[in-house]
């Protein structure tokens, strides 16, 4: 298993990679929260999705939730000092998914910690009366309206936050809502999906993964995800020929690598919305001809993303099959971060999917993956060690991405 090989290589070069990570991260701001989907095929392992506004904090193990509070407290103290007692946790507004609200309550607990910070929930617009929703565990949740008052923001009737923590992924823009606020927003709304591009992120991630691989002495392909961009995508029109050619290009490059490692599996790719989340706007193909033969159902699937936003660009990404399993179902790890530190994770499994399919779909189940064990025994935890470092590289890529687009966090580095 490549996981064990990478684990040993990381242990052998631990001091060097810590020095590299520190040098690369100097002067960067890491978003307050993020999560990363990782695929492990047995012959390669890599980050295949990055989320700046992750749901799912409720799925990390109890021990990690407790340690996450201290990591969060350190992040807030370092970047915002003592003047950060009132926090707005900005949530999604168009969902009654009780598990999403369980995630929100868990994140609120992590942010509050033991300091007694006041954390209020709100949405990025005026809604009149508060929304009353219920979490999966039966807890009642009140979510308030927000309104601008000059450069400040008022939540509900009178709550004025010192900081806004986003758990709304801004798949659609809220014009004027976050412009020129005098209080910091983290992650910034300018990194929302209405504006952010996966292609930019993966260009940075693959470069960093290549540098990391060179330090530990492995082939960079073993931890990269070959990704190419198609602009001016039209699922119903004339772009199928161009998309088909791009699919064949990625498949050809993957097949060349497979042959060099004597891998007999058939390569495949994922076609993904370049600005999408929630597992929407994604499909798997094994050939360029499949794209030309798409039926109406698939074309409609690739027409719009969350909130009905049209899909204008797509990426073609090398598919990584998964050998990870839980109770006989195919699975994949997701790692959660606060700043640049892993604070937990889970295995997403799906009994109705095969090892080449996307698991981020209805019917997925979650098994906790306790990264806090790394503090006790890195040597005996190859899975957590390898996935943890992949996530740290991925977080570094987010920091560089944010800097490249001039995202403003309103904090001290």
Domains and CATH numbers, the chain: 2-56+196-404 (no CATH), 62-191 (3.40.50.11280)
What is the rounded CA–CA span in Å between residue 76 and residue 409?
12
| Residue 353, CA atoms < 13 Å, CB-side half-sphere | 24
Q: What is the mean pLDDT of residues 110-130?
A: 88
| Residue 102, CA atoms < 13 Å, CB-side half-sphere | 11
pLDDT exceeding 70 applies to what percent of the chain?
93
Q: How many residues does the chain have?
A: 413
DSSP helix, strand, coil percent of the chain (3-state; round to 5): 35, 25, 40
Q: How far is residue 388 from each of residues 370, 373, 385, measured CA to CA in Å?
A: 11, 11, 5
DSSP-assigned beta bridge partners for residue 45: 40
pLDDT at 413: 43
Whose CA is closest to 122, among 151, 154, 144, 97? 144
pLDDT exceeding 90 applies to what percent of the chain?
60
Whose CA is closest to 1, among 39, 37, 44, 46? 44
pLDDT at 405: 86
Tracing tokens 């507004």 back to the chain, one arrives at 93
Going by the DSSP 8-state scheme, the letter that residue 144 receives in this structure is B
Residue 139 has pLDDT above 60, yes or no: yes
| Residue 127, CA atoms < 13 Å, CB-side half-sphere | 19
CB 193 within 8 A of CB 171: yes
Residue 375 has pLDDT above 60, yes or no: no
What is the rounded CA–CA span in Å between residue 231 and residue 159?
43
Whose CA is closest to 367, among 328, 324, 326, 321? 326
Tracing tokens 């806004």 back to the chain, one arrives at 164
Where are any strands of DSSP class E within 9-151?
33-40, 45-51, 86-90, 118-122, 131-134, 140-143, 146-149
Q: What is the mean pLDDT of residues 382-403?
A: 91
Q: Is the dihedral of CA 367, 371, 377, 378 positive or negative?
A: positive
What is the rounded CA–CA span in Å between residue 398 and residue 324?
26
What is the rounded CA–CA span in Å between residue 259 and residue 43?
12
Better-predicted residue by pLDDT, 392 or 295: 392
pLDDT at 305: 63
Whose CA is closest to 399, among 223, 225, 208, 179? 208
Tracing tokens 């209020």 back to the chain, one arrives at 120
Residue 283: both structure tokens together: 């499909």
pLDDT at 397: 97
Whose CA is closest to 169, among 147, 154, 188, 142? 188
DSSP letters spanning 41-57: -SS-EEEEEEESS---G
Q: What is the mean pLDDT of residues 164-170?
A: 94
pLDDT at 327: 87
Whole-number average pLDDT of the chain: 89
CB 118 within 8 A of CB 197: no
CA 351 centroid distance within chain: 23
Q: What is the pLDDT of residues 223-266, one digit of tens each?
A: 999 999 999 877 655 667 889 999 999 999 999 999 999 999 99
pLDDT at 320: 96
């Amino acid at each position: 298993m490549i996981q064990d090989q990478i684990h040993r290589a990381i242990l052998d070069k631990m001091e060097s990679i810590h020095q590299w990570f520190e040098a690369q991260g100097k002067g960067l701001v890491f978003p307050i929260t993020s999560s990363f989907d990782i695929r492990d095929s047995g012959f390669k392992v890599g980050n295949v999705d990055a989320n700046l506004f992750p749901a799912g904090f409720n799925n990390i193990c109890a021990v990690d939730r407790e340690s996450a509070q201290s990591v969060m407290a350190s992040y807030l103290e370092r970047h915002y000092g003592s003047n950060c007692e009132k926090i707005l946790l900005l949530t999604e507004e168009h969902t009654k998914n009780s598990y999403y609200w369980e995630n929100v309550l868990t994140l609120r607990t992590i942010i509050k910690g033991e300091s007694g910070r006041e954390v209020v929930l709100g949405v990025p617009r005026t809604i009149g009366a508060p929304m009353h929703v219920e979490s999966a565990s039966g807890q009642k949740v009140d979510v308030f309206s927000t309104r601008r008052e000059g450069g400040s923001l008022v939540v509900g009737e009178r709550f004025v936050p010192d900081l806004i923590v986003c758990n709304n992924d801004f798949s659609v823009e809220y014009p004027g809502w976050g412009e020129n606020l005098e209080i910091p927003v983290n992650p910034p709304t300018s990194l929302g999906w209405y504006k952010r591009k996966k292609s930019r992120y993966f260009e940075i991630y693959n470069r960093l993964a290549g540098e990391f691989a060179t330090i530990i002495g492995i082939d960079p392909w073993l931890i990269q995800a070959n990704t190419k961009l198609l602009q001016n995508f039209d699922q119903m029109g004339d772009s199928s020929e161009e998309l088909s050619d791009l699919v064949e290009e990625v498949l050809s490059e993957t097949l060349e690598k497979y042959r060099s490692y004597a891998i007999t599996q058939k390569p495949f790719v994922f076609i993904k919305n370049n600005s999408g989340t929630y597992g929407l706007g994604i499909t798997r193909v094994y050939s360029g001809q499949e794209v030309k033969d798409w039926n109406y159902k698939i074309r409609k699937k690739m027409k719009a993303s969350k909130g009905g936003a049209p899909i204008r660009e797509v990426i073609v990404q090398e598919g990584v099959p998964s050998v990870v399993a839980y109770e006989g179902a195919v699975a994949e790890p997701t790692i959660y971060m606060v700043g640049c530190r892993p604070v937990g994770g889970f295995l997403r499994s799906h009994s109705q999917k095969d090892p080449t399919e996307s698991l981020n779909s209805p019917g997925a189940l979650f098994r906790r993956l306790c990264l806090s064990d790394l503090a006790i025994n890195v040597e005996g935890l190859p899975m957590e060690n390898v996935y943890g470092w992949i996530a740290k590289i991925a977080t570094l890529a987010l920091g560089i991405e944010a800097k490249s687009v001039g995202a403003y966090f309103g904090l001290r580095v």
